[in-house]
Amino acid sequence: MTLEILGITVLGVFLFGYIIVASIDFGAGFFNAFSVVTGKEHILTRVIQRYLSPVWEVTNVFLVFFFVGMVGFFPKTAYYYGSTLLVPASIATILLAIRGAYYAFTIYGGLKYRRYTILYGLTGLFIPASLSIVLVISEGGFVTIRNGGPELDYWVLFTSPLSWSIVVLSLTSVLYISAVFLTWYAQKAKDYNAANLLRKYALAWAGPAIITASGIIVEMRTHNPEHYERLLDLWWLFGLSVLFFAGTVYLLWRRIAYGFAFVLLAGQFTAAFLAYGISHYPYLLYPYLTIYDSFTNKAMATALVTAFIAGLCLLIPSLYLLLKLFLFNKDYVQGNRNDHV
């Protein structure tokens, strides 16, 4: 394995981690707001907050880790993506900031208003939409080099069916991932009302999620034929992904083994993410930037990998402790403890 591949794998793992934990977070905010609007707040709010409170900060770190690592391993991405993403990334940052601060203000500060809860839920939909623009741009065709610098063509971006498909995909998968996870969590909390409601949401979003995902592959055929060819070569990974998807839906339908259903869901997204990532190789920004011509010097790459391994030795036990104390702590999950500062 070359250092380039190792670098992009590390970043891929963190991006994937962010997609999963942030989806749970964004979706939870949306379902919470939805329950306020539909008068089902009493069913959902408690279980959602009990999960989110100890981990909301950690979610944010996954994102920071990804973009800092990206610039570290591939400094040229700062030039290409930094120059083009000013507007979408700034909007995402502002929404993330409002969201994070508001969450702390309500949970720790006791500031609770209906309209804020709804606003909070809506930001959870706008953030994935604005972040997914990065994936759209990486397909090529939206950035032109003008006057010696890359520029984003907003008109092409907003009129492209591909960009809208990816935005819709990000929304449906956020809601689907979140609903499946929370179903499992509510079941563990012995909160059967919440589990039943969330199960319905999960089943409702399963169809749209898989349809939009398949739609992207079709879009790719006209947008980026080279990428499309590579995607087809990996048909078996997509097949595996669909199989996992069917398993999750079956288990939810039969109301059994929600934990295993979430594992299958993770498998579904891992397979799809891997297939997408591998077929994207070697481009970071088609056709300007590959992982080879943007890679940092060898000394820095070695230093970063060393720091990464040392960092993991600290992080993994700490994350394990966090999960053990909250996610896998029966008393905490079931709400028998209230140890909150």
Q: Are 127 and 99 in contact (CB under 8 A)?
A: yes
Identify the burial level of 330 via C-beta atoms within 10 angstroms of its C-beta, where 0-12 means exposed, 13-18 middle and 19 or more buried: exposed
Cβ neighbour number for residue 17 with a 10 Å cutoff: 17
Instruction: By CB under 8 A, tell whether 300 contacts other proteins.
Output: yes
Instruction: By CB under 8 A, tell whether 82 contacts other proteins.
Output: yes
Choice between 94 and 278, CB closer to other proteins: 94
Q: Quick one: which segment of 17-25, 87-95, 122-130, 284-292 binds other proteins (CB under 8 A)?
A: 87-95
CB of 333 to other proteins, least distance (A): 12
Q: Quick one: which segment of 166-174, 191-199, 211-219, 295-303 binds other proteins (CB under 8 A)?
A: 295-303
Q: Pattern 111-150, binding to other proteins, x per CB under 8 A?
A: x----------------------------------xxxx-
Instruction: By CB under 8 A, tell whether 101 contacts other proteins.
Output: yes
Which one of residues 155, 158, 299, 336 is an interface residue with other proteins (CB under 8 A)?
A: 299
Instruction: By CB under 8 A, tell whether 1 contacts other proteins.
Output: no
The residues in 31-60 that bind other proteins, with binding defined as CB under 8 A, are 53-55, 57-58, 60
Amino acid at 249: V
Instruction: By CB under 8 A, tell whether 18 contacts other proteins.
Output: no
Q: Are 228 and 221 in contact (CB under 8 A)?
A: yes
List Cα–Cα distances, 90 to 84, 121, 131, 214, in angstroms.
11, 19, 10, 30
Question: Cα–chain-centroid distance for residue 55?
Answer: 15
Pairing of strands 283-285, 143-146: unpaired
